[in-house]
Amino acid sequence: MAEREITYREAILTALQEEMRRDPKTLIMGEDIAESGGPFKTTLGLVDEFGPARVRDTPIAETGFVGAALGLALTGWRPIVEIMFADFLGVCFDQIVNGIAKHRLMSGGRVKVPVTIRAIGGAGLRFAAQHSQTAESWMLSVPGLKIVCPSSPAEAYSMLKGAIRDDNPVLVLEHKALLSSKGPVPVGSDDAAMPTGPRILRPGKHVTIVATLAMVGRALEAADLLAADGIEAEVMDLRVLRPFDASAVAESVRKTNRLVLVEEQVAAGGWSASVVADVVTEAFDYLDAPPIRVTLPDYPLPYSPPLEDEAIPSPTRIADAARKLMRDTGRG
């Protein structure tokens, strides 16, 4: 094992490479992932090492190849599928929601479904409304599915390895705005446990800020802005959307008494609503003010740069929410 400074994209590629070397029963399928290395180059060179049988270009048929992943998993393989844009999860929704997620329970626990679905989503690159969604909330209410959200190269690496080794269906929601971000990654690591809950990235005592994916970086920037005003924010990366455990957030709130949630999705049906609900249940008496959810506005994401920028939660908006909480609780 060696810690190396690599990009999120390289972290994904390295995780795929290591796990495909480790287990000959793994294979990856997706559109244009073999010779061309995927539209985001997350599979570059894999076909040279593992061959076209295990690094498989598919027709443009998300229902077809995601369904095929279920058939492969039931018959002894450990398939990984790449959904080019997370937005296309809508096209194979049924196979995931009614098939992959349910097959085990419907069989009375007699089958295993080790499928990894990687979906590259997220806004900020001017891809407009059909190619910019993180899809985080779409499958939140689907039991039988695990959902993880890597916010850094190290997380992308370890979550993907954990997902591939997991005997259950895991949806890994990657973020395309993070693909070029760099960070230390424990390359060659054999420790590939799936994360089980949130992680504190920056400790603080005045306000808890919870975020996922690209919003984690923005929350950390907001914490810098707040620090200049003497407000110490505790920044948490939620990491796991399913199975969902907000107790670490509740624990943080017991210390800070204030909660801001940052989500790159519209508020309706988002994970931040679930976190708030659980925190209210677990730590109601510790909340000094109603939590604030900073989300996308309730319209499809526009294309034009100023319009897109306006929609995505900015560090300033996040910091403003925290400041408001401080003011509302007589500390501003």
Whether 7 and 187 have beta carbons less than 8 Å apart is answered as no
Size of the site for another protein (CB under 8 A): 43
Alpha helices of the chain — where are they, by DSSP H?
8-22, 46-54, 62-74, 93-94, 103-106, 153-165, 214-228, 247-256, 271-283, 305-311, 315-328
63 sits near another protein (criterion: CB under 8 A): yes
Site for another protein in 217-276 (CB under 8 A): 243
143 sits near another protein (criterion: CB under 8 A): yes
How far apart are CB 81 and another protein at their closest, in Å? Answer: 10
Q: Which of 15, 66, 210, 214 binds another protein (CB under 8 A)?
A: 66
How far apart are CB 309 and another protein at their closest, in Å? Answer: 36
Sign of the torsion formed by the C-alpha atoms of 201, 199, 218 and 127:
positive
How far apart are CB 43 and another protein at their closest, in Å? Answer: 18
Alpha carbon separation from 96 to 34, 74, 113, 144 (Å, rounded): 23, 14, 11, 10
Exposure letters 31-65 (e unless 16+ CB within 10 A, then b): bebbeebbbbebbbebbeebeeebbbbbeeebeeb
CB under 8 A: which stretch of 12-20, 39-47, 98-106, 251-259 binds another protein? 98-106
Whether 155 and 212 have beta carbons less than 8 Å apart is answered as no
Residues 288-327: x where in contact with another protein by CB under 8 A, - otherwise, as a string: ----------------------------------------
35 sits near another protein (criterion: CB under 8 A): no
Catalytic residues: 62, 131
Residues of this chain that interact with another protein (CB under 8 A) are 27, 53, 58-59, 61, 63-77, 79, 94-95, 98-99, 103-114, 143-144, 146, 167-168, 243
